[in-house]
Chains A and B, each alone.
Chain A
Amino acid sequence: MAEVRLVEVSKRFGSLPAVDRVSLDVPEGSFYTLLGPSGCGKTTTLRIVAGFYPPDRGDVFIGARRVNDLPPHLRQTAMVFQEYALFPHMTVFENVAYGLRMRRVGERDVVRRVAAALSLVGLSGVERTFPARLSGGQQQRVALARALVVEPEVLLLDEPLSNLDAKLRVRVRTEIRLLQRQLGKTVLYVTHDQEEALAVSDRIAVMDRGRVQQIGTPVEIYHHPANRFVADFVGLANFVEADVAGPDVVRIGGVTLRVPLNRTAHEMGRGGAAGDRVTLVLRPEAIRLHRAPPQMDNVFPGRITTASFLGTLARYWVQAGGITWVVDVPSPGETVYGGEVFLEIQPDRVHVLRESEDQK
């Protein structure tokens, strides 16, 4: 097993900077996700690690070794492609065996190791089948087995689930996560699906326009996004412009709210002073709805304009203080509300972004 380290890696295609000074530290045995919208540079970063592109600048290390000039197959990495890239003219067995044959593994070992890899992904018994005859989920497993069978130190996965239907996607991602734990492999995983990233990763690097925006655990990324892009991309959020009115007090239009500005002030490196502008990030579940006004701070009236029943929760669009708020109410049961309501902001669930970060 090995760690992967990228130091100030940059790559341009023509005049287009695809990857811009990216530094990553992927600890040995961790499940590390590159998350971002299409075109953010995550796949390019992965391909630089795989060895398909040489970086223009910066260094790539796998273990202690600098691998910038090493061809793909000597890097101790193996890749699972988005489209699986199974060889359509070879059987499942031949597909999985291909990497071993290229490494001149003896025929008896090939048979044994292919069988082991297929059983690892739960796909024994289809060895003689051609890929086209398999379902999407099965093809995905073949691709995984083909990558695993060469016993790479680092497994590279490029949007491996994007071609599966929603249910299967959830199942397979759990299996991949379990497999990774069981084998203790270092995994570098690329996805644009923030929910998938949150669900499986040890760490996530959120990327946008070639640059890393934030690196952190799923909890950190979700609850303490470093900037508006991350907050917006990961999960759903209300972005509210506010004026600082005093210590831990902000004003939004006519509504005054108490939020702990100090903690963020600490993170920002300077205190919130009256007259500053901040952006509040409120996740939909950080707001509560009440039919009658409760006696506490941070409550103000509003009117539900749209409601949407989502099973495990109900989502409301509430007009209040000149803004439309998105609010999630868990376990809605049989009732979907409408009409006049009161919104309660939970102060400890408010994340504050300073003006400058907001502009990013």
Chain B
Amino acid sequence: MRITNHESRFTLRMGDPGLLAAFIAVGAVLLGFVLYPTLRVISYPALADYVAVPHNARWIAATRNSLMMMLLSTASATLVGFLYAYATSRGDLPGRRAFQMLSLLPLFAPPFMVAFAYILMFGRQGLITKTLLGLDVNIFGWQGLWLVQTVAFFPYAALIIGQVLDAINPTLEYAARDLGAGEWTLFRTVTAPLARPGLAAAMLIVAITVLADFGNAIVIAGNLPLLATEAWFRIEGLADLSGAAVVVSLLLVPTAGLFILERVWVSRRLYTAITGRGSRLARPATPWYFLWPLTAICTVVALFVLLVYAAVLAGAFARTWGYNWTLTLDHWRLAMAQGGGQLVNSVKVGTGSALLTSAIALVAAFLTSRRQYRVERALDLLAVLPAAMPGVFIGIGFLLAFNQPPLVLGGTPWILILALTFWHIPFGYQAAVAGLKQIDRSIEEAAADLGASGLRVLIDIYLPLLRGPFTASFVTSFIRAVTNLSIVVFLVTPRNLVATYSILSMISGGFWGAAAALTTALLGITFVAVGGARLAIARGLRGLPVG
């Protein structure tokens, strides 16, 4: 039956001129804005530069350190994410909603500022470590980075694993208990094995993110050379664009490898787990000896997250953190004077790129939904490829590709908007693909049977039905766009400065208070915009539950 449906979709779309045009258009932009910059980066250095890599001790060390951090942080972030997701999947966890919300906060946080907040809290003079616990610890180095990356990236793991856990039918739990399984046996024999594909997917995603992590590494890593920061060092210190291209190309090898692993090995199993619609049956009560430790773990993790935000907030209002706690609005005055307009630009750039991302991703997902023919699979690959690329790679790629003919975007805001757009495409694309799988194919056939052309089917049927994934994609892309630094730092233009750039420049100048104030404002705007987007899109079509 499945085969027949694939065939049907293709036949229906085959001769449709509108869809053919859409296919060519989406294919062309993906080729132009994903593949072309990639090739530009890889081909920029001379071959000899690549050959010399094994002789460069520092790069070898950086590679080794990056891989080590990847293993450590991935293991810990996935573990914490799993425990957190497991805990929040229990209906009777006290404060479940609050815990869920809190776990999303690190995703909103712009880099630099968060890492700095950790120094304020956990450094040698940290509020927690020194003032509260009387410890003398050095946060700089791999241990500190490990802690920061764990807290920064566990939400990714928790999100992915949470989806899988939620999809596990509670009836299975009842059945296992009915057959005599205790809580631990149930967890060991039913929940954990069913969540395994989610766990694997989470690990791979977190691993890619850790490898590409730039913001935390540059503040916390201390003397530890890492690939992601090394690229920036090449540019900043040695003005060596070619060397930077070599380093980001090096970085692309493990990220792309992990990514391929995720695609061919994990995501397929994952889908089968997610698409089975979870029943609305309430989960059975969790015994106290499970519930209490889980609550404790969640509380500790959530406190870590909250502390970061508290530090940023306090930094924005205290005259001098740690020395002079007098409340002041001076930082706000400075932040608004220097960065007020940039907040508006951030929102514009974020909105524009998030809309473009979501729209292109949705059309691409629709066009490749059969994945039967080679062109479709090629399009599919192009749409997910950017997920394997670190931000610095995209940033350098666009810098190299679009500052010269045939397409000169340098100096316009478009170079930044488009870089962010295409970097985030995979998020929107995967959401749309998952959404498409939920829609019975006969709906498309019915529309075609009644005379709708391919594009009409897309506009009348899929667009409205996929507004759930569309919103999700928009929100994710928006947050990532307004908090991005790794791309912004290469592509921002004087006329269209964005807030994260100003935060960076304030930090560079030592204006931590103003940076904290601007960060707080950015966070506020992000929260409002995300809430507003959800509301607006939900209102656009009333009455129906979001898919």
Residues of A near any B CB (own CB < 8 A):
13-14, 16, 18, 43-44, 47, 50-54, 71-73, 77-79, 81-83, 85-89, 98-99, 102-103, 130, 132, 146, 150
Contact = CB atoms under 8 A, between A and B. Distances in A.
A85 B440 contact: yes
Contact of B450 (A16, A82, A132, A146): A146
**A-B pairs, 4 with minimum CB distance:** A102-B451, A99-B450, A73-B451, A85-B446
A89 B443 CA distance: 11
B179 interface: no
Given A52-B11, A53-B4, A85-B440, A79 B449 contact: yes
A233 B302 CA distance: 63
Contacts of B464: 89
A87 B544 contact: no
B300 interface: no
B451 A99 contact: yes
B544 A132 contact: yes
B445 A81 contact: yes
A53 B461 CA distance: 21
A130 B456 CA distance: 21
Nearest to A81: B442
Interface in B118-135: none
B450 A73 contact: yes
Given A99-B451, A102-B456, A87 B461 contact: yes
Given A102-B452, A102-B456, A85 B445 contact: yes
B54 interface: no
A52 B3 CA distance: 13
B143 interface: no
Contacts, number: 84
Nearest to B547: A88
B28 interface: no
8 contacts: A52-B12, A52-B448, A52-B449, A71-B15, A81-B442, A85-B440, A88-B465, A98-B460
Nearest to B541: A89
Nearest to A78: B449
Interface in B45-68: none
A300 to B, nearest CB: 47
Nearest to A52: B8
Considering residues B4, B450, B451, which has the most beta carbons from chain A within 10 angstroms of its beta carbon? B450
A83 B543 CA distance: 21
A155 to B, nearest CB: 11
Given A53-B4, A53-B7, A130-B544, A85 B442 contact: yes
Interface string B131-158: 0000000000000000000000000000
Nearest to A129: B543
B7 A79 contact: no
Nearest to B448: A72
A77 B445 CA distance: 13
A12 B519 CA distance: 61
Contacts of A13: 3-4, 7
Given A13-B7, A73-B451, A82 B442 contact: yes
